[in-house]
Amino acid sequence: MLHKSTNEQLKRTRKEAIRAFLLAASLALGACAGGPAKRAEQGAETEAAYPPAATDRYARALGLMDAGDYSRAQRELVLLTEKFPDLAGPYHNLALIEADKGSPDNAAALLKAALERCLRCAASWNQLGILHRQAGRFAEAEGAYLSAVENEPGYALAHYNLGVLYDLYQQRHELAVQHYERYVSLSGDADAIKQVDKWIADLRRRLAAPQRAAQAGEL
Residue 39 lies in a domain: yes
Contact 117, 37 (CB under 8 A): no
pLDDT at residue 53, as a whole number: 78
Q: How many domains does the chain divide into? A: 2
Give the closest residue to 17 by CA, choosing from 108, 102, 122, 143: 122
pLDDT at residue 96, as a whole number: 92
Q: Are residues 198 and 126 in the same domain?
A: yes
Stretch 96-103: mean pLDDT: 94
Q: How confident is the model at residue 93 (pLDDT cuts 50, 70, 90)?
A: very high
Angle between helices 52-66 and 89-100 (to 10 degrees): 20
Phi-psi region of 87 (alpha: psi -120 to 50; beta: other; left: phi over 0): beta
Residue 46 lies in a domain: yes
Please check the confidence at residue 90 and state whether its pLDDT lies above 50.
Answer: yes
Q: Are residues 202 and 160 in the same domain?
A: yes
How many beta carbons lie within 10 A of that of residue 109, not counting itself? Answer: 15
Q: How confident is the model at residue 152 (pLDDT cuts 50, 70, 90)?
A: very high
Stretch 73-98: mean pLDDT: 93
Q: How confident is the model at residue 43 (pLDDT cuts 50, 70, 90)?
A: very low
pLDDT at residue 86, as a whole number: 87
Stretch 143-154: mean pLDDT: 96
How many beta carbons lie within 10 A of that of residue 131, not counting itself? Answer: 21
Please check the confidence at residue 62 and state whether its pLDDT lies above 50.
Answer: yes
CA distance 93 to 77: 8
Please check the confidence at residue 140 and state whether its pLDDT lies above 90.
Answer: yes
Phi, psi of 4 (to 5 degrees): -60, 150
Chosen domain end from 76, 91, 120 = 120
Chosen domain end from 97, 120, 143 = 120
Residue 70: which residues within 8 A CB-CB, separation 6 or more?
A: 64, 97, 100, 101
Stretch 176-198: mean pLDDT: 94
Residue 133 lies in a domain: yes
**Model confidence, pTM:** 0.77
Q: Are residues 111 and 126 in the same domain?
A: no
Q: Are residues 96 and 131 in the same domain?
A: no
How many beta carbons lie within 10 A of that of residue 160, not counting itself? Answer: 27
Residue 181 DSSP class: H
Q: Are residues 196 and 91 in the same domain?
A: no
Q: Are residues 143 and 81 in the same domain?
A: no
User: Residue 162's domain spans which residues?
Assistant: 122-206
Q: Are residues 115 and 146 in the same domain?
A: no
Q: Are residues 126 and 111 in the same domain?
A: no
Contact 155, 40 (CB under 8 A): no
Q: How many CA atoms lie within 13 A of 201 on its CB side?
A: 6
Please check the confidence at residue 173 and state whether its pLDDT lies above 50.
Answer: yes
Residue 43 lies in a domain: yes
Q: Are residues 7 and 108 in the same domain?
A: yes
Residue 166 lies in a domain: yes
Residue 214 lies in a domain: no
Contact 23, 43 (CB under 8 A): no
Residue 104: which residues within 8 A CB-CB, separation 6 or more?
A: 98, 131, 134, 135
Residue 217 lies in a domain: no
Q: What is the CATH number of the domain that holds 190?
A: 1.25.40.10
